[in-house]
């Protein structure tokens, strides 16, 4: 079976083979850290639900959502990099493409009207809004740059299967797994920038209590 591969992919594969054990160990440590963090986030979501802290719940929910996307993305990227065989790599690349496409849309919704309303309840919220605006701009740029390609992969060969098998086959065999890896890395870097901002929002929400029963 003939696949279109780039010199970047060949070079990357050589680097991976030479440091496979170390790379796997790095991934495993990162997975455990994020899973431990996710447990904390979900405990906080449950706590907010139990106590009627609706505003706080929206923030913790966003933090947990971002953590899950990042964790899933890292697992898929690990499988992509550590797997062998052109077809198998492109299976993982297609799954990554779909996750990237779907989660980008979800992130804009997640940080929409309700999220912005909560931020404006905080004192000196302007600095947080400024930081979020910068991240949104980066997300917009990312979406604009990659949306067309990601959506094509999603519709032709992943979430949906085009019945024109020639089109589906060509999409798979011509797919650059290295390009998808770079897109996943770029998105995860954006997600990582949201972490400290959300932490600041959470810290502020704990400190600044309403007169009523709800926080923030």
Higher pLDDT: 2 or 66? It is: 66
Confidence grade of residue 174 (pLDDT, cut at 50, 70, 90) = very high
pLDDT of residue 1: 84
pLDDT of residue 205: 82
- Cα–Cα dist 117/107, whole Å: 16
Confidence grade of residue 213 (pLDDT, cut at 50, 70, 90) = very low
Distance, C-alpha 116 to centroid of its chain: 20
Here the tokens at position 35 are 């899973």
Q: What is the residue whose two structure tokens read 């996943």?
A: 184
pLDDT of residue 80: 97
Average pLDDT estimate for 164-168: 96
pLDDT of residue 203: 87
Report CA torsion sign: 106, 108, 187, 56: negative
Query: Angle, nearest 10°, between helix axes 177-207 and 54-82?
Result: 160
pTM for the model stands at: 0.91
Contact 92, 76 (CB under 8 A): yes
pLDDT of residue 214: 47
- Rg over alpha carbons for the chain, rounded to the nearest Å, is 20
- Cα–Cα dist 69/191, whole Å: 9
pLDDT of residue 211: 44
Query: Residues of 156-171 as b/e, b for ≥16 C-beta within 10 angstroms?
Result: bbbeeeeeeeeebeeb
215: number of Cβ within 10 Å: 21
Domain assignments of the chain as residue spans, ordered by start: 8-207
Here the tokens at position 26 are 């790095």
- Cα–Cα dist 60/75, whole Å: 22
Distances (CA, A) of 116 to 65, 72, 120, 145, 185: 17, 26, 6, 25, 27
Instruction: Tell me the percentage of the chain whose pLDDT exceeds 70.
Output: 96
């Amino acid at each position: 079976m003939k696949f279109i591969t780039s010199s970047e992919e060949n070079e990357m594969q050589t680097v991976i083979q030479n440091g496979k054990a170390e790379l796997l160990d790095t991934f495993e440590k990162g997975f455990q850290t994020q899973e431990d963090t996710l447990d904390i986030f979900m405990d906080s979501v449950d706590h907010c639900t139990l106590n009627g802290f609706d505003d706080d719940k929206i923030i913790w929910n966003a933090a947990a959502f971002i953590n899950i996307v990042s964790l899933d993305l890292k697992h898929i990227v690990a499988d992509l990099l550590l797997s062998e065989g052109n077809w198998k790599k492109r299976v993982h690349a297609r799954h990554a493409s779909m996750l990237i496409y779907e989660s980008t849309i979800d992130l804009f919704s997640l940080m929409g009207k309700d999220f912005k309303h909560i931020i404006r309840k905080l004192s000196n919220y302007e600095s947080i809004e400024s930081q979020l605006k910068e991240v949104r701009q980066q997300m917009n740029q990312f979406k604009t740059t990659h949306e067309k390609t990601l959506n094509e992969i999603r519709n032709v060969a992943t979430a949906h299967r085009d019945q024109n098998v020639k089109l589906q086959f060509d999409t798979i065999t011509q797919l650059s797994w290295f390009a998808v890896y770079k897109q996943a890395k770029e998105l995860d870097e954006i997600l990582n920038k949201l972490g400290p901002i959300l932490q600041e929002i959470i810290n502020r929400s704990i400190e600044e209590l309403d007169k009523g029963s709800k926080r923030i």
